[in-house]
């Protein structure tokens, strides 16, 4: 074998990850961006209003108003806000932003493709992300196959084409887990940081993301148990978990403007909207009463959350 042929083979091998990553991204993106202006789902009305509220809160400087739901849906909303802001610059810059945002949000059935675009593009990065992390765990081709499954998974594909947080939260959680598994193998700081950032983004996206914590704890426990006689390893794993948790918290705070100005109130609203408000359904189920008759039972427990007021969107929209 000549030296030039060997060099060409090495070049092909080195370019393989890039080519596979690009191919997986296009494989995921193509079915996601096709005909995004289709039918409107009921939850998307709430998401579009939330994006409008978020953008106007940034525009006015009233950052506390960037909290609009307990999800909290921040990563998805950031994507919607960027697209909405760019559309204002390109199409509606002659009118003031509040008027433009209100006009767009008032007719979601006509403008829903604007709000869906960012989620479709963002979720397309999960397939190459799974490959790039997974190739260090299982090899190029098995990781590429896993990435292809993520790209074409019917559930993820369907939820990537509408405005919600399910597919995006699932993608961030998966990348966080894979990065932490890789960190457990190599103890490389980069993977620990990546895992924590992905975990923070998942937490910003959808409330089920905290299920990451027991999984990360279990992996850490298994790795510690292998060398449990070594006290230094015990201290090291405690440090790893503290660093991971700290980066998750920092990511959550940095990307959630409401946390910059009213952190305690933001957590209180998330708790009330997540748990206290839903006592209404518990009473309705137990007593088999209509909402009007169940109201006295509910008021004592969840009056602050507004058990009959399901929409916490502010008056800015």
Q: pLDDT tens digit string along 204-227?
A: 999 889 999 999 999 999 988 887
Q: Which two tokens stand for residue 284?
A: 């309705």
* Residue carrying structure tokens 């993977």: 191
Domain containing residue 294? 277-302
pTM, 2 dp: 0.84
pLDDT of residue 260: 97
Q: What pLDDT was estimated at residue 246?
A: 97
Examine residue 281 and state whether it is found in any structural domain, yes or no. Answer: yes
The pLDDT score that the predictor gives to residue 310 is 39
Residue 6 lies in a domain: no
In a domain, 184, yes or no: no
Round to whole Å and give the CA distance between 247 and 15: 32
Domain membership of residue 286 (yes or no) is: yes
Average pLDDT of the residues of the chain = 85
- Low-confidence residues in the chain, pLDDT < 50: 11, 290-291, 293-312, 314-316
How confident is the model at residue 297, as a pLDDT? 37
Which pLDDT score is estimated for 283?
Answer: 55
d(CA 235, CA 106): 55
Quick check: is 179 in a domain?
Answer: no
Q: What is the pLDDT of residue 294?
A: 39
Q: How many domains does the chain have?
A: 1
Residues in the chain: 317
pLDDT of residue 227: 78
Res 312: pLDDT: 46
pLDDT for res 62: 95
The string of pLDDT tens digits covering residues 61-76 is: 999 999 998 889 999 9
Q: How far apart are CA 224 and CA 244, in angstroms?
A: 16
In-domain check, residue 250: no
Q: Give yes or no for a contact between 312 and 68, defined as CB atoms under 8 angstroms apart.
A: yes
Which tokens in the block code for residue 258?
């409401």
| pLDDT given at position 298 | 40
Residue closest to 140 by CA, chosen among 4, 28, 29, 23: 23
pLDDT of residue 90: 87
Write down the pLDDT at residue 293.
Answer: 42
Using one digit for the tens of pLDDT, what is the confidence trace for 184-193? 999 899 999 9
Nearest to 256 by CA among 50, 45, 78: 78
């Amino acid at each position: 074998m000549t030296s030039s042929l060997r060099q060409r083979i090495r070049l092909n091998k080195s370019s393989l990850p890039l080519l596979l990553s690009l191919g997986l991204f296009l494989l995921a993106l193509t079915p996601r961006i096709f005909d995004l202006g289709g039918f409107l789902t009921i939850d998307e009305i709430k998401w579009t209003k939330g994006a409008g509220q978020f953008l106007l809160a940034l525009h006015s400087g009233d950052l506390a108003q960037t909290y609009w739901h307990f999800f909290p849906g921040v990563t998805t909303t950031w994507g919607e806000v960027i697209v909405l802001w760019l559309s204002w610059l390109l199409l509606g810059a002659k009118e003031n932003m509040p008027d433009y945002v209100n006009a767009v949000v008032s007719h979601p059935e006509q403008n829903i493709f604007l709000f869906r675009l960012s989620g479709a593009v963002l979720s397309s990065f999960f397939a190459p992300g799974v490959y790039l992390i997974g190739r260090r765990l299982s090899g190029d081709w098995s990781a590429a196959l896993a990435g292809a499954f993520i790209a074409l998974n019917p559930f993820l594909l369907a939820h990537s084409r509408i405005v919600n947080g399910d597919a995006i939260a699932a993608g961030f959680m998966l990348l966080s887990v894979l990065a932490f598994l890789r960190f457990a193998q190599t103890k490389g700081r980069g993977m620990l940081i990546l895992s924590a950032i992905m975990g923070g983004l998942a937490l910003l996206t959808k409330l089920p993301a905290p299920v990451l914590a027991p999984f990360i704890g279990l992996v850490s426990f298994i790795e510690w148990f292998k060398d449990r006689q070594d006290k230094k390893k015990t201290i090291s794993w405690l440090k790893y978990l503290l660093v991971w948790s700290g980066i998750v918290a920092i990511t959550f705070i940095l990307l959630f403007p409401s946390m910059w100005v009213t952190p305690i109130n933001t957590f209180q609203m998330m708790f009330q909207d997540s748990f206290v408000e839903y006592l209404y359904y518990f009473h309705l189920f137990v007593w088999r009463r209509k909402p009007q008759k169940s109201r006295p039972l509910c008021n004592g427990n969840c009056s602050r959350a507004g058990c009959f007021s399901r929409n916490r969107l502010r008056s800015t929209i």
